[in-house]
Amino acid sequence: MTAGFPRPHSALSRLTAVAALAVVGSLAVTGCGDQTKKDSSSGTSTSGASTSASAAPLFSKLPQKYQESKVIKVGTDASYAPMEQTDNGKIVGIDPDIADALSKQLGVRFEFANGTFDGLITSLYAGRNDIVMSAMSDTKDRQQGIDEKGKKTGHGVDFVDYYMSGSSLLVKKGNPDHVTKLADLCGKTVAVQRGTIYEDAFKKQKTACGSKGLTIEAFDTDTEAQTRVKAGGAVADLNDTPVAAYIAQKSGGAFQVAGSPADAGPFGIALDKDNTQLRDALKAAMDAIIADGTYAKVLQKWNAGSGAIQQAAINGGS
């Protein structure tokens, strides 16, 4: 474990390279994304069970609201392959596939709406989404509603943890700046997605750099941060290890992962703290797809099995 790397979002401790993109079907585009902060590829995709609600084993655990609507609205930032990305207008990836498996247990559809990452928690409290599935790290700050400036927002969330992830630096192929750890970035410029724990990590490293400083350029999407690194305007982007590995593998030789994966932490499904019945139903459904092997098949499909968990947890992040 390399010193100086931050603890990641939640439930994805994939400390190995992610392989080629698998083909995902059965997600139909049905509408627009997050209305306040959507990127150019925003859309809404649906993951739905083929079985009827009455046949779904955990349907009765859902709050009445979802039993009646048969829909759970999901906020995501579909620019983070292989977790979620758009393909021919559809939102595909690990999170949509897990949602599809959950839908079969719960007997409801999961409708994914695309937005920018730093607006996803707000979308829960604005009523646009019921949950967030977006490779979001389960952290105490997010649970307590504390923003990146240490300010209490009043928008704390609960998490149902479903994967473990480490963190890695993404640099240009050949690593011309010889970056292997955060301390190597002092005096340089970095790029990162706004609102992530990795932006916080760079800010902490800037303080540690002291007089050498560290210039941080934050973007709405990680794709923009990658573009900045590729163009030479920044020396590195910081990412979840499987995402960094996937980007490098699909970049045609433009990027590589620098240093060793470090600091595993959980990814979680985020939801309003008052929505405890839905939270508990989601945990039960996660445990069910882990037990019946469906969860493992999803991760195997995306070569992300190293981050698998044995049991779902509620607010397991630190």
| CB-based contact 78:32 (threshold 8 Å) | no
Which tens digits make up the pLDDT trace of 118-138? 999 999 999 999 999 999 999
CATH class of 28-165+267-314: alpha beta
Return the exposure string of 50-60: e unless at least 16 CB atoms fall within 10 Å of the residue's CB, then b: eeeeeebebbe
C-alpha 259/C-alpha 280 separation (Å) is: 38
pLDDT category of residue 37 using cuts at 50, 70 and 90:
very low
Q: Decide the pairing of beta strands 157-172 and 79-80.
A: unpaired
Q: pLDDT (tens digit, 9 = 90+) per residue, 287-307?
A: 999 999 999 999 999 988 888
Q: Do domains 28-165+267-314 and 167-263 have the same CATH topology?
A: yes
Q: Cα–Cα distances in Å, from 4 out to 42, 149, 183, 197, 295?
A: 34, 20, 7, 14, 32
Determine whether domain 167-263 maps to CATH 3.20.20.105.
no
Each residue of 191-227: pLDDT tens digit? 999 999 899 999 999 999 999 999 999 999 999 999 9
Contact 120, 221 (CB under 8 A): no
Helix 94-106 / helix 294-301 crossing angle, nearest 10 deg: 160
Question: Which residue ranges make up each domain of the chain?
Answer: 28-165+267-314, 167-263
- pLDDT digits over 144-190, tens only? 998 767 788 888 999 999 999 888 999 999 999 999 999 999 999 99
Q: Are 48 and 110 in contact (CB under 8 A)?
A: yes
The pLDDT of residue 259: 84
Q: In this structure, what token pair is assigned to residue 242?
A: 């499987």
